[in-house]
Amino acid sequence: MIGPTRFAIRILVLIGLAVPGVRADTLFSPEGYRPLAADHRALRVGDNLTVVVTEIATASTDARTSSDKTGSVSGAAKLHPVPQQGTLNLNETFSGGGTIERSGKLLARMTVVVQSVAGNGDLYVKGQQDIVLNGDRQKLALDGRVRPDDIGADNTVLSSRLSNAHISYVGTGVLADKQRAGLLTRLLSWLHIL
């Protein structure tokens, strides 16, 4: 006769042999794991990231050119009874110059989506924002590469920290049309009359 303890052990062994093995690593998915105590920063494809766009650009160019050229030709000829003389003087003076100054400022906040993750962990992000106000449409588009170390604890990154950044801000509508030169002005400018 088998004692109750030995019987329970044999039953447990038979159940253990009948049930396929369960591995502990099947309970953990590294791709889907998010620790409860960590900050929620963009790390994977599909994650959102807020970009603080602070772009200020100023350019200035100044050019001056000056040149002087002087030449002289003289000669004499005797044709039968009347001597002929001639002198030709050439003078050329040129002075030119120009100044170009340009400045631009763009301040905005927009959320972009992680499109892919590079082998070194850098994130390629892309997004756009359309704002329509009284018939005028403003479109802000942004894409670039972000290092995870540059992302703040509040899941934001400065636009100056994006590498290979492409930022465009385009407006269409009544206001944008009024800022464009008229057809006659553009035609005269093309003909270099203006």
- At position 146, the amino acid (one-letter code) is V
Among candidate residues 144, 137, 131, the one with its CA nearest the CA of residue 55 = 144
Q: Token pair for residue 16?
A: 């253990």
pLDDT digits (tens, 9 = 90+) for 178-194: 556 666 667 667 777 65
Using CA atoms, how far apart are residues 72 and 138, in angstroms rounded to an integer?
63
Contact assessment for residue 54 and residue 107, using Cβ atoms and an 8 Å cutoff = yes
- At position 28, the amino acid (one-letter code) is F
More confident: 128 or 7:
128
pLDDT digits (tens, 9 = 90+) for 134-176: 778 889 999 999 999 999 989 999 999 999 999 988 877 655 5
- At position 140, the amino acid (one-letter code) is L
Q: What percent of the chain has pLDDT over 90?
A: 26
Residue 4: phi, psi to the nearest 5? -60, -30
**Is the whole model's pTM more than 0.85, yes or no?**
no
State the pLDDT at residue 12. 76
pLDDT level of residue 122 (50, 70, 90 thresholds)? very high
Ranges of each domain in the chain: 48-59+102-190
> What are the CA-CA distances from residue 22 to residues 11, 14, 66 (Å)?
19, 16, 87
